[in-house]
Structure 1
Amino acid sequence: MPQDVYDPPALAPGTLRVIPLGGLGEIGRNMTVYEIDGKLLIVDVGVLFPEEHQPGVDLILPDFTPIRDRLDDVVGVVLTHGHEDHIGAVPYLLKLRQDVPLLGSELTLALIQAKLKEHRIQPVSHVVREGGTERMGPFELEFVAVNHSIPDALAVAIRTKAGLVLHTGDFKMDQLPLDERITDLRAFARLGEEGVDLFLPDSTNADVPGFTALERDIGPVIEGVMAKARRRVIVASFSSHVHRVQQVLDAAAANGRQVALIGRSMVRNMGIAAELGYLRVPDGILIDSKKAMNLPDDEVVFMSTGSQGEPMAVLARMANLDHQIEIGEGDTVILASSLIPGNENAVYRVINGLMKLGAKVVHKGNAKVHVSGHAAAGELLYCYNILQPTNVLPVHGETRHLTANAALAIETGVPAANTFIGENGLVIDMTDGVADVVGQLDLGYVYVDGSTVGEITDADLKDRRILSEEGFISIFLAIDKQTGRVIVGPEIQARGFAEDAEIFDDIRPKILQALSEAAANGTRDQHGYTQVVRRTVGRWVNTKHRRRPMIIPVVIEA
């Protein structure tokens, strides 16, 4: 629900302030700032991927405004795991201050270091492990193993003089994980005995009843699909989903196929995972993509990015016949991921495109080729009963997810007044375990468009949508400034509106008449004449054609 914007009071000594800058009301941009006694701790700095109504945007960053002038007070950034929605914005934060210490697991830091290398940033990083503790200024941190769809994920317990906070990051409770690394419920229970004053749990699957299915159930399904495939197999997944890639490698080995990794991020991330021992590559399975093109169709698997329908990712380019791998009759495509909310149309567009080319498309809707990496309602209930937190701030989810998570907390005995559902910029202060909402900051989207960061506005995106959906009309004319008489023009051109220039014949006399009347009423300046042309054309095109194109008048005074 929209919240009124109001500034929080000055922070009292010994009080912990918590401000989510991203991840509330959205799946992505996860970032939370903790402050006590003048020092700041940040947990995660992720990106949000654009939707169809944000044309031309590459990434969306958290709004750093509340901390931009206080970066010298940041004692560290904790990264819970290596997914883009939790680490993708780190380069943009470090461009503001490069020596902010990064804390994370071995794999998480390896993935972010590879990304930072592309930005020519050498980070100050410190590897942490489950069970370990670190003191960062007034914050004492303890790291807890959690199970997720990427290895080496961590929750973080934050101890301060104001109370104990547990921030889960993304997690689930797979009891038979592929890497045999389960969520450490014993540590959760110990923290519960100590007393969790504020709990920030993952909300993505809070509205899904029961328990998330086992990751290991997916491997046999992928292997079975490969066994039935007549020609090539293309599997699309997130470029950081190490477990899924492992299952594809194992399934390929069982079916006598070799695997080529396609996509820069896929090749980079899996290279890192293999080097660190998180990905076990069977001998002779991985081959170069060029060599794979020359193999018999029934001996190759392509592992690619693009499972979310991203227009420039490998799979979408295949569907558009814009990739060296040309999909054909008898090929099998497996979309081994879930749909991120907002991507449905893009994904189905890719599926339809692949099927038109003759491919068989296997996805979560028609086969068990993916399980979520996020705890469902049953798992969250276990957490609440084990932890018995005093206060709860659900994070990482759209409003429906946050609301469902808060309802679970209330069902297990957390007072409704102690569960906080908010938007990015919500300000919560906690003293001696007592938490209250004390402010709501006005935060916006920060768009990355090529090399441009933060300069694209919502108004710019509105213009882009108009151009893409309605086209534009340009009107050029030269006028006598004193009389409003048109000396040259009006010359009218349109793009994305109408091909027949004759359609504008009946608006030209209306423009001439409107300018003459404006001059008779005292208009003498170029801006005034421009506005007259814009209103006249806009009224005509809206009334007669029911369209709202962008109208660009160019009026020159003579």
Structure 2
Amino acid sequence: MEIEIATIGGYEEVGRQMTAVRAGDDVVVFDMGLNLSKVLIHDNLRVEGMHSLDLIDMGAIPDDRVMSELDGTVKAIVPTHGHLDHIGAISKLAHRYDAPIVATPFTLALVEEEIDDENKFHVQNDLVEMEAGETMSIGERCELEFVNVTHSIIDAINPVLHTPEGAVVYGLDKRMDHTPVIGDPIDMKRFREIGREGEGVLCYIEDCTNANRKGRTPSEAVAREQLHDVMRSLEDYDGGIVATTFSSHIARVSSLVEFADEIGREPVLLGRSMEQYSGTADRIGAVDLPDDLGMYGHRKSVDRAFERIMSEGKENFLPVVTGHQGEPRAMLTRMGRGETTYELDEGDKVVFSAGVIPEPTNEGQRYQSETLLRMQGARIYDDVHVSGHLRQEGHYEMLDALQPQHVIPAHQDMKGFSGYVDLASSQGYELGRDLHVTQNGNTIQIV
């Protein structure tokens, strides 16, 4: 059976992920993502109303025209998890393919919301829910399996396409977390089984976000303890405390809500995406948030929440807000610019429970946001966080577990691939033979 892999998006940047695997006449598409940095540099740009071709020209979503070169039929579109760089282009591209969107429950709920918000295209693809550990048939000779992994969002999986020539493992995005705050640990037992059963692993496509960083990525339990320590240290402060984190990081948001109550403050979630992710997770039962937890996304309701906080005393509240990357329209950025009724005073605390995404736009916006906050007297607690991506020791462990015949680095640019190339080379892989460094829009004939 011919096996061909199209590297469509996410092979020249961190963002707009999309990969297609053709096994004989059957094609499976993994991820359809958005490159947020290409959107954020434009003021007041609303993606929902834009045409896919304009977004492709901007470099914001994958250019999927290479799909016409694959001699097969798309049988499934499989987003690995609910981050926008993996699902943000589904509402723009999925309607081109007569195939179901197959995902875990939380991811599928987020995809459905993206589709509902879309103003330009009418996406009518079937939505199929599949849990980690389950399988489905792809054509007559292949099988799709979901393997549970841990990441900075719940319900993440690594999909595996089992073919007669061996398994193709799509390894985006994960860290090796054996003590997650929410959900099950990464299923390393299953990865080791896949590496040693049948024809083994034909090809492994790997997330290289942290491949240049030595050591091991800590567990979310470590971040939770760091955050707990910071919050307890602020217990006696009688001024304003504001926290920000990834809206999609349900485990981290849940910890902030818990610790706010512990130090006698009322948590309030503020911002459109904060309300969307936490509200969706609570609605489908993926997390158990307090019934009286305030979640406000609409601008007017957010402003009313800020007015209440200032009226009743900001020492009684912990606003958990959007804006950890300094996004121009996010709540924390508006606070730094003095565009809300929340008044930052000298000595007030701002806790960034998030790292900066390693991309120039984010780095610049985050620097500007922190500078504005400091100008108002805020004290910054920076990087109370652990990454959702493997470092080098995790990559060694995955290669040992899977023992793939071929490896394709992904989720980075050429500079970001360098650490993984060195790492894989030390394990006997050779560039141009079984280690394939590629770019967007290319196809690789594996078999």
Q: 1:88 to 1:52 in 2, by over 3 A?
A: closer
Q: 1:115: how far off?
A: 1.6
Please tell me whether residue 306 in structure 1 is matched to residue 308 in structure 2: no
Q: 1:83 to 1:172 in 2, by over 3 A?
A: same
Q: 1:41: how far off?
A: 1.3
Aligned to 2:7: 20
For residues 71 and 124 of structure 2, what CA distance do their matches in structure 1 show? Answer: 17
What residue identity is the alignment partner of 2:161?
I
Out of 355, 371, 378, the position equivalent to 2:374 is 355
Please tell me whether residue 331 in structure 1 is matched to residue 348 in structure 2: yes
Aligned to 2:76: 76
SS of 1:401's equivalent in the other structure is helix
* Unmatched runs of 5 consecutive residues or more in structure 2: 48-59, 297-301
SS of 1:197's equivalent in the other structure is strand
- Give the conservation status (yes or no) of the 8 Å contact 2:279–2:295: no
- Give the conservation status (yes or no) of the 8 Å contact 1:223–1:252: no
Please tell me whether residue 270 in structure 1 is matched to residue 287 in structure 2: no
Alpha-carbon deviations, 1:198-255, whole Å to 9, x = none? 0111111111111112212222333343342432222222221111101111111111
Aligned to 1:446: none
Aligned to 2:266: 258
- Give the conservation status (yes or no) of the 8 Å contact 1:230–1:331: no
Alpha-carbon deviations, 1:424-463, whole Å to 9, x = none? 12211122xxxxxxxxxxxxxxxxxxxxxxxxxxxxxxxx
What residue identity is the alignment partner of 1:215?
E
For residues 346 and 268 of structure 1, what CA distance do their matches in structure 2 show? Answer: 23
Aligned to 1:430: 446
Aligned to 1:461: none
SS of 2:230's equivalent in the other structure is helix
Out of 122, 126, 129, the position equivalent to 1:127 is 129
Give percent identity, aligned residues only. Answer: 31
Out of 242, 246, 249, the position equivalent to 1:238 is 246
Out of 284, 306, 320, the position equivalent to 2:337 is 320
For residues 215 and 70 of structure 2, what CA distance do their matches in structure 1 show? Answer: 43
For residues 53 and 70 of structure 1, what CA distance do their matches in structure 2 show? Answer: 33
What residue identity is the alignment partner of 2:86?
H
SS of 1:306's equivalent in the other structure is coil
Aligned to 1:378: 393
Q: 1:362: how far off?
A: 1.2
Out of 348, 355, 363, the position equivalent to 1:344 is 363
For residues 390 and 140 of structure 1, what CA distance do their matches in structure 2 show? Answer: 19
For residues 253 and 139 of structure 1, what CA distance do their matches in structure 2 show? Answer: 50
For residues 404 and 69 of structure 2, what CA distance do their matches in structure 1 show? Answer: 33
Please tell me whether residue 183 in structure 1 is matched to residue 199 in structure 2: no
- Give the conservation status (yes or no) of the 8 Å contact 1:45–1:79: yes
For residues 219 and 337 of structure 1, what CA distance do their matches in structure 2 show? Answer: 12
Q: 1:22 to 1:52 in 2, by over 3 A?
A: closer
Q: 1:75: how far off?
A: 1.2
* Unmatched runs of 5 consecutive residues or more in structure 1: 1-13, 432-558
- Give the conservation status (yes or no) of the 8 Å contact 2:22–2:70: no
Flag the structure with more relative contact order, 1 or 2, with Cα contacts below 8 A and sequence separation at least 6: 2
For residues 139 and 424 of structure 1, what CA distance do their matches in structure 2 show? Answer: 26
Between Structure 1 and Structure 2, how many residues are aligned?
413
Moved more, 156-165 or 390-399: 156-165
For residues 434 and 72 of structure 2, what CA distance do their matches in structure 1 show? Answer: 32
Moved more, 85-94 or 326-335: 326-335
For residues 229 and 318 of structure 2, what CA distance do their matches in structure 1 show? Answer: 14
Please tell me whether residue 44 in structure 1 is matched to residue 49 in structure 2: no
Please tell me whether residue 35 in structure 1 is matched to residue 22 in structure 2: yes
Alpha-carbon deviations, 1:17-53, whole Å to 9, x = none? 1011111121111100112334321000011122599
Give me the TM-score of the superposition, normalised by structure 2: 0.87
Please tell me whether residue 150 in structure 1 is matched to residue 153 in structure 2: yes
Q: 1:348 to 1:129 in 2, by over 3 A?
A: same
For residues 419 and 69 of structure 1, what CA distance do their matches in structure 2 show? Answer: 23
For residues 39 and 67 of structure 2, what CA distance do their matches in structure 1 show? Answer: 30
Q: 1:403: how far off?
A: 2.2
Aligned to 1:113: 112
- Whichever of the two has the greater Rg, that structure is 1
- Give the conservation status (yes or no) of the 8 Å contact 2:17–2:85: yes
Q: 1:406: how far off?
A: 2.4
Aligned to 1:399: 414
Moved more, 210-219 or 348-357: 210-219
- Give the conservation status (yes or no) of the 8 Å contact 1:240–1:270: yes
Out of 164, 167, 171, the position equivalent to 1:168 is 171
For residues 68 and 303 of structure 1, what CA distance do their matches in structure 2 show? Answer: 45
- Give the conservation status (yes or no) of the 8 Å contact 2:348–2:379: yes
